[in-house]
Amino acid sequence: MNKIFHDYLDKFIVVYLDDILIFSRTVEEDAEHLKLVLGLLRQHQYKVNLEKCEFGRTKILYLGHEISADGLRPDDAKVASIRDWPRPQTVTEVKSFLGMTGYYRPFVKNYSTTTSPLTDLTRLDTPWEWTEECEATFRKLKYALTHYETKYYGGSREKMLETMQGIGAQGCEFLVAGRVVSGNFQVLSGIELPPELASIFKAIPESVFRKDISSTEIRQRMMQSQAS
């Protein structure tokens, strides 16, 4: 399916398995995009199940996210699931919780450093002990994902790429009009390349933001680590 729409991916179409999402700025543009997509499907002998199709929507749930002209936000049902998640009692349950919250990591500032107490708990050489720090991290993640900020799209508004490099962690954030659109942070283990620019290509999703970097003002700041 990706081969069929290769020339249009991330321009006005997103494909996941056999799910096709078309996004347009206007009704007229949407009609043109839809005609092109249906034409390519017909050309390659694909059939469309109209009962599973939705047209002309201004808001839609897709891959666990609500997408609209206002931006991107987690599905309310997933947020409720995280809010009501019981305290993990085993390593497997911790991994399950981290798997769910990790899917929505762009909505949690400094996700990797924030979750490090729980991540450490999943290591084979770490004995199970649910400490006060683990409990605080668990509650902090729940709070962050129930009090998130909607992620805004790019466009002609001012863009900023901010990189962070500090003791034990590195990462960057992509901001549009002063709002965080995406970002990633990672806890360093062993020897890592220190230059901040190296973290840019790790943190920014290639298909979404890398094409904007050439015209983006780059600002750097140090992410300070607190001594334990």
Q: Which of 59, 77, 78, 61 is nearest to 69 (CA)?
A: 59
- pLDDT > 70 fraction of the chain, expressed in percent and rounded: 67
Name the band, by pLDDT with cuts 50, 70 and 90, for residue 179.
low
| Domain end residue (candidates: 144, 168, 199) | 144
Mean pLDDT confidence for 126-138: 96
In a domain, 46, yes or no: yes
Q: What is the DSSP string of 62-128?
A: ETTEEEETTEEEE-HHHHHHHHTPPPP-SHHHHHHHHHHHHHTGGGSTTHHHHTHHHHHHTSTTS--
163 in the same domain as 140: no
105 in the same domain as 48: no
Rounded Cα gap, residues 161 and 43, in angstroms? 41
In a domain, 39, yes or no: yes
Average confidence score pLDDT of the chain: 79
pLDDT at position 39 is 95
Flag whether pLDDT at 155 surpasses 70: no
Q: Which of 164, 159, 51 is nearest to 113 (CA)?
A: 164
In a domain, 41, yes or no: yes
Flag whether pLDDT at 62 surpasses 70: yes
Q: Could you give the C-alpha distances from 178 to 153, 175, 208, in angstroms and in order?
A: 12, 6, 18
| Domain end residue (candidates: 119, 144, 169) | 144
| Entry pTM | 0.66
Flag whether pLDDT at 221 surpasses 90: no
Mean pLDDT confidence for 123-129: 92
Q: Which of 89, 78, 8, 3 is nearest to 46 (CA)?
A: 3
Flag whether pLDDT at 137 surpasses 70: yes
Q: How many structural domains is the chain composed of?
A: 3
Domain that holds residue 214: 159-221
Least confident of 22-36, 81-95, 118-132, 187-201: 187-201
In a domain, 62, yes or no: no
| Domain end residue (candidates: 96, 113, 144) | 144
CB 134 within 8 A of CB 118: yes
Flag whether pLDDT at 214 surpasses 70: no
Rounded Cα gap, residues 16 and 62, in angstroms? 10
In a domain, 80, yes or no: yes
101 in the same domain as 47: no
Rounded Cα gap, residues 121 and 189, in angstroms? 16
pLDDT at position 227 is 39
pLDDT at position 152 is 72
Mean pLDDT confidence for 112-134: 93
140 in the same domain as 86: yes
100 in the same domain as 140: yes
